[in-house]
Amino acid sequence: MADRTANVTWTGSLMEGSGTIQSVDSGAFGPLDVSWAARTEDHEGLTSPEELIAAAHAACFSMALSNDLAQAGSPPDRLETSATVTFVPGTGITKSALTVRGLVPGMDEAAFVEAAEGAKENCPVSKALASVPEITLDASLL
């Protein structure tokens, strides 16, 4: 079992106030500022819940895919993954789009795409985001 905790503070109103992701369990990041304006308009260098979800999804997918490729006998030299999360205020998070390019010795494109589809279906963050209306994948070899 793995628990991970993050601590966030907020001061003032939603529109004019601002928050800070003060710290996380691992100590890997923080403080990182957040604000409603930066979340919904120009990011101005500030992260947002949607960017953090994109980071979690891309990281989880990459691990799952590298594991699946290794189990298939073709461990990757390199995977380059992007996740793009779309948020529509009032509606919610509507999409996470994964793009992966892989350098995988001894594997053909069709097998890579199939492995990537499997990782998209089964990585724990994909499962946690199962109610997102659209999760897409664009996979190809480098």
Residues 104-133 touching other proteins, rule: CB under 8 A, are 122, 124-125, 127-132
State the DSSP H helix or E strand holding residue 45, giving kind and residue range, or none if neither: none
Rounded-to-10 torsion of CA 132, 47, 62, 129: -20
Q: Is 13 helix (H, G, I), strand (E, B) or coil?
A: coil
Q: In the numeric block, which tokens belong to residue 15?
A: 């529109």
The verdict on 17 binding other proteins (CB under 8 A) reads: yes
- Tell the smallest beta-carbon distance from residue 79 to other proteins (Å): 4
CB of 108 to other proteins, least distance (A): 19
Binding segment for other proteins (CB under 8 A), chosen from 25-33, 107-115, 134-142, is 25-33
∠ CA 36-20-38, rounded to 5°: 25
Pick the stretch among 4-12, 110-118, 134-142 that binds other proteins (CB under 8 A): 4-12
Q: Does 140 bind other proteins (CB under 8 A)?
A: no
The answer to whether residue 73 forms part of the interface with other proteins (CB under 8 A) is: no
Residue 8 contacts other proteins per CB under 8 A: yes
- Asked if residue 137 binds other proteins (CB under 8 A), the reply is no
